[in-house]
Amino acid sequence: MKASYIAAGVLAASAVLVLSAPAYAHVTVNPEGTAAKGGYATVNFKVPNERDDASTTKLEVNFPTEHPLASVMPAPVDGWKIQVTKSKLAKPVELHGEKIDEAVSKVTWTADGKGIEPGYFQKFPLSIGALPENTDELVFKALQTYSNKEVVRWIEVPQEGQEEPEAPAPVLALSAAEDGHHGSAASDTDSGDAEAVVNESTEQAAASSDTSDTTARVLGIVGIVVGVAGVAYGVLASRRRSDA
């Protein structure tokens, strides 16, 4: 009996230890809204500080060379200097009808103050595009540097159907391409308005034509009546002269 109670106690203690173990966060990337294929998006790299005795002082985000992005624009972040690095592509690529031979290969944020202190996180926003249409995700390998010179390499690519790696790279999921392009709705509206104007003009022209036809007919009938009356008056006048 005592042995069974001891075993149960050990299992319970183990469960408590497992449940109380900290769930370590990692560098992630998420869009504001959606990141649709072929479009542009604003994304945020979220960086938590995982150390109790050091601050995060630097973040380097490497961009995928197999899916280069022609436009990358960072937003200002208080307390951080930003450097955008471009590199020549081994082979020029065509993006949405335009050939490019260089693209952004890395963006680096360096703290000029305290950085990300223990117990805090920081978001680093970027506007990127045009997003590729031939992939479902973009992988950004990141390096997080602490004030004690420690570097955490978030570079392991998650594999579908497998457990998440210990230091996963930030992955941006791309949604399906949105229907139409900018201005298509306005074009449809303008087209509809133009069609309405044409229809209205046609109706007015038809109405005007009908009115003209009716007027011509009325005038024709009046002319006939006047002519008949004139003839009748002439005949009557001739008879009166004969009688006289």
- Select the more confidently predicted residue: 98 or 56: 56
pLDDT at 202 over 50: no
Give residue 92's pLDDT.
Answer: 80
pLDDT at 230 over 70: no
Strand partners, 138: 172
Q: Which position has the higher pLDDT, 107 or 177? A: 107
Candidate ranges 172-176, 189-193, 209-213; pick with highest mean pLDDT: 172-176
From residue 143, give the alpha-carbon distance in Å to each of 26, 151, 177, 179, 187.
11, 7, 31, 36, 46
pLDDT at 192 over 70: no
> Tell me, what's the pLDDT at 145?
98
Provide mean pLDDT across the span 220-233.
50
ω before 196 within 30° of 0 (cis)?
Answer: no
- Across 68-82, 130-144, 175-189, least confident range: 175-189
pLDDT of 100 reads: 81
CA-wise closest residue to 141 among 105, 174, 191:
105
> What's residue 195's pLDDT?
46
User: pTM of the predicted model, to two decimals?
Assistant: 0.64
Rounding to the nearest 10 degrees, give the CA dihedral for residues 218, 220, 226, 232: -120
Check if the beta carbon of residue 123 is closer than 8 Å to that of residue 61. no
What was the pLDDT predicted at 65?
A: 85
Token pair belonging to 180? 């139409």
- Across the chain, mean pLDDT equals 76
The pLDDT of residue 25 is 81
DSSP character at residue 97: T
Q: Can you tell me the mean pLDDT for 151-170?
A: 93
Q: Tell me which of 186 and 229 has the higher pLDDT.
A: 229
Which phi and psi angles does 115 have, rounded to 5°? Answer: 75, -155
